[in-house]
Amino acid sequence: MFSFTKMQATGNDFILINYLENKLEYSYKLLAQFLCDRHYGVGADGILIIEKSDVADFKMRIFNQDGSEAEMCGNGIRCFAKYVFEKELINKEIFSIETLAGIKLVELEVEGETVTNVEINMGTPMFELENIPVIYLENNYKGKIYIENMEIYPVSMGNPHAVCFVENLEDLDIEKYGKLIEDYKYFPNKTNVEFAKIIDEDHIKVRVWERGVGETLSCGTGACAVSVISNKYKSMKNNINIELLGGTLKTNYNESIKLKGPAEIVFEGKIMI
């Protein structure tokens, strides 16, 4: 039996497990598949593992519902940051977290002893095909690729993303097109997919299909991907509100991109496995 904390950030939910002191002898892949099951486990989009780091204040590892390990998660890292501060594992409001996508700097907004918002410096997006990665051999590549007549803008936020602009989000068959793009041959590591509708110059609505999970209420790195692609190719502002099914995230893009939003503890418990 071990303890866990269930958290959510704009509807993207996670199970946090503290392995700073005691490391359980479980396969993280199998643990994620069991705990994330919404019928037989706790239920979540992924699990977050808190570990010690030699290069930052903490190390975060994230595993999706299907057991695959993700490089980075913008919503997950906000949950992570709130947890370590409110559990008094750190007493600084600015600190660093090691991820597979590099070291991320977080800054907390605190009222009393409660973290109300978390801002993450998500780093510099990568547009080079080999860095996303994307295998696309057409000579006329100009920032977008085509999948069954859909314009797709690939970008890496430390993990791969594919942004597609649409006119009708509500009637979109996201399971059909999300799965198609996620598994498409151009993406050797698969990809997260964002379907975006521009409302005005600083407001975009987005639905997210996450690699290894399916449709989720929110995705932090996905919000960043939409923001940078919209700024680069659609003449949008540097500051954009990204409206997702689970809530709105604020982004600021100027070479690197910052992501700001809330996170909440849902409940705590113990489970026998």
Q: Once rounded to an integer, what is the mean pLDDT over residues 249-269?
A: 97
Chain segment 121-177, per-residue pLDDT in tens = 999 999 999 999 999 987 778 899 999 999 999 999 999 999 999 999 999 999 999
pLDDT of 272: 86
The topology (CATH level 3) of 129-254 is: Diaminopimelate Epimerase; Chain A, domain 1 (3.10.310)
* Position 168, amino acid: N
Q: Once rounded to an integer, what is the mean pLDDT over residues 218-247?
A: 97
Q: Is the pLDDT of residue 62 over 80?
A: yes
CATH class of the region 2-123+260-271: alpha beta
Q: Name the residue with tokens 């932090």.
A: 220
Mean pLDDT of the chain: 96
Q: Is the pLDDT of residue 217 over 80?
A: yes
pLDDT of 137: 84
Q: Do domains 2-123+260-271 and 129-254 have the same CATH topology?
A: yes
Chain segment 81-133, per-residue pLDDT in tens = 999 999 999 999 999 999 999 999 999 999 999 999 999 999 999 999 999 99
What are the sequence ranges of the domains in the chain?
2-123+260-271, 129-254
Enter the pTM of the model: 0.94
36 is catalytic: no
Chain segment 24-53, per-residue pLDDT in tens = 778 999 999 999 999 999 999 999 999 999
224 is catalytic: no
Q: Is the pLDDT of residue 76 over 80?
A: yes
Q: Indicate which residue of 73, 79, 164, 224 is catalytic.
A: 73
Q: Indicate which residue of 79, 164, 219, 224 is catalytic.
A: 219
